[in-house]
Amino acid sequence: MDRILGIDYGRARVGVAQSDPLQLFASPLETVPAAKIIDYLQKIASAEKVVRFVVGYPMNLDGRPSEAAADVDAFLVRLREAFPDVPVELEDERFTSVLAHRAMIDGGMKKSQRRDKASVDRISAAIILQSYLDRKK
């Protein structure tokens, strides 16, 4: 089944989410150390047919790329080299961390669980991917 993967790239950790086979819904998948993300994505791609990557792109409120965009740009080069046949889309990731925390609160997660940055990264990746899926439908 065709899957779209959502990626919330960070210098230390990377949140990953995947679409359902019909590409309607995004689900958090995993948080991976940034140094191992390409290997992790290759593992997923060997088990599932990945048809697109949606990568969160950090923007300032004025619409210009933020300082963290340089890290994402470097990751995009590596991603495109590793997966030359898979299209990559960028999705504005402003406020995804805030939305992730809100989703955790609304979902009843305890305060100690909400402090887990890996959970925030996974949920942020799902929010990035869901935003893309909603816009494309």
| pTM across the whole model | 0.86
Provide the residue type at 100 as one letter: A
Least confident of 13-17, 116-120, 132-136: 116-120
Q: Is the pLDDT of residue 136 over 80?
A: yes
Give the pLDDT score at 33. 97
Pairing of strands 49-57, 26-33: unpaired
Mean pLDDT, the chain, as a whole number?
A: 87
Residues shown for the chain: 137
C-alpha to C-alpha distance for 29 and 73, rounded to whole angstroms = 23
DSSP 65: B
* Paired strand residues for 116: none
pLDDT digits (tens, 9 = 90+) for 4-54: 999 999 999 999 999 999 999 999 999 999 999 999 999 999 999 999 999
Domains of the chain, each with CATH number or no CATH: 2-136 (3.30.420.140)
Q: Is the pLDDT of residue 98 over 60?
A: no
Give the pLDDT score at 66. 78
Retrieve residue 24's tokens: 């309607």
Cβ contacts of 1 within 8 Å, gap of 6 or more: 21, 48, 49
pLDDT digits (tens, 9 = 90+) for 58-75: 888 787 877 888 999 999
* Paired strand residues for 18: 5, 27
